[in-house]
Amino acid sequence: MWHCYILECSDGTLYTGITTDIEMRLNTHNSGKGAKYTRTRTPVILKWSKEFSDRPTAAKEEYRIKKLSRLEKIKIIENNQ
């Protein structure tokens, strides 16, 4: 299974990504070895995730979310907690 996820970084910004292992990926981000964007913004907190059956579908959702405004991303987080 693939996961699309939204993280809240230590500076309050939001980061969206995909992975097959959400716990491992969160640990990677927090160890400073994740995405370039999150390396200097640790610790990060998982705010939202959704499971998908395949990578292309998860990647499409990631792309869709990355185009949204911060307010729209916050609405996704609030509506799915």
Instruction: List the domains of the chain with CATH numbers.
Output: 2-79 (3.40.1440.10)
| Span of 4-8, 31-35, 50-54 with lowest mean pLDDT | 31-35
Dihedral over alpha carbons 63, 81, 7, 9 (to 10 degrees)? 140
State pLDDT tens for residues 8-39.
Answer: 999 999 999 999 999 999 999 999 998 999 99
pLDDT at position 81 is 56
pLDDT at position 15 is 97
pTM: 0.94
The 8-class DSSP code of residue 11 comes to T
